[in-house]
Copies of this chain bind each other. A is one copy, B any other.
Amino acid sequence: MAQHGLRERKKQATRRMIADVATGLFVARGFDAVTVAEIAEAAGVSKMTVFNYFPRKEDLYLDRHLDRLRELESVVRDRPAGEPVATAMRRYHHELLAAQHPLSGAIQGVLGFWTVLQSSPALMSRMVEQEHEIAEMLAGVLAEESGDEFAARLTANLLTATITTIFHTAVARIIAGDDVEQVRRDQVAVIDRAFDVLERGIGPGRDLHHSDG
């Protein structure tokens, strides 16, 4: 019952190796132009083994999803008692940005990442699906807390819409060729603007003057 025997270590290593080999091929030639058979051969492994680790071809590229899902869950679950979800999520996104985390979107690497992503409708579709899974997860956690299924789902969906918009905003600017450092600086305000709208609503009659830093 050794949870960390030779077997488990080898599996993790193999998994990483396959994903890395695949990513290399995708970056070089585009997602659709690379077949799973090729990946298997390049990784020195059988096709079945590839599908053994990654149920879909898209998961070879979007393999950080589960980590992200778990991290977002803990942001909500482990926030200080009584703190609004939006507050915790806002803080978390400022931290991502400060740490220059890839998921902040404001980092040089996203250009290559997004290029591959755009090279395949299937990949784009899978990413949208993953965003949907995030919303589902949040809805579940919030429903546990409040018991109000409808409010939980609404909050979860609005929250997800907010964070995907933040991410997409950074990516779009970097794709457009803006200076990464500049984008990174601007994202601070973007995050605050987005969460302000989430918290105060899109309706009229509010004061939206921001002294932009």
Contacts and interface: CB of A to CB of B under 8 A. Distances in A.
A199 B201 CA distance: 4
A162 B162 CA distance: 12
Interface string A101-141: 00000000000000000000000011011001001000000
Interface string A2-46: 000000000000000000000000000000000000000000000
Interface residues of A, number: 36
For A197, A202, A204, the residue with the greatest tally of chain B CB atoms inside 10 Å of its CB is: A202
Interface in A153-174: 153-155, 157-162, 164-165, 168-169, 172
Contact of A198 (B126, B202, B204): B202
A194 interface: yes
Contacts of A86: 202-203
Contacts of A202: 84-86, 155, 158-159, 198-199
A129 B150 CA distance: 22
Contact of A154 (B125, B128, B159, B197): B197
Contacts of A200: 200-201, 203
8 contacts: A86-B202, A125-B129, A149-B172, A150-B193, A154-B161, A157-B161, A158-B197, A161-B161
Given A84-B202, A158-B202, 16 more contacts: A85-B202, A125-B125, A128-B128, A128-B129, A129-B129, A153-B165, A154-B161, A154-B197, A155-B202, A158-B158, A158-B197, A158-B198, A198-B201, A198-B203, A200-B200, A201-B201
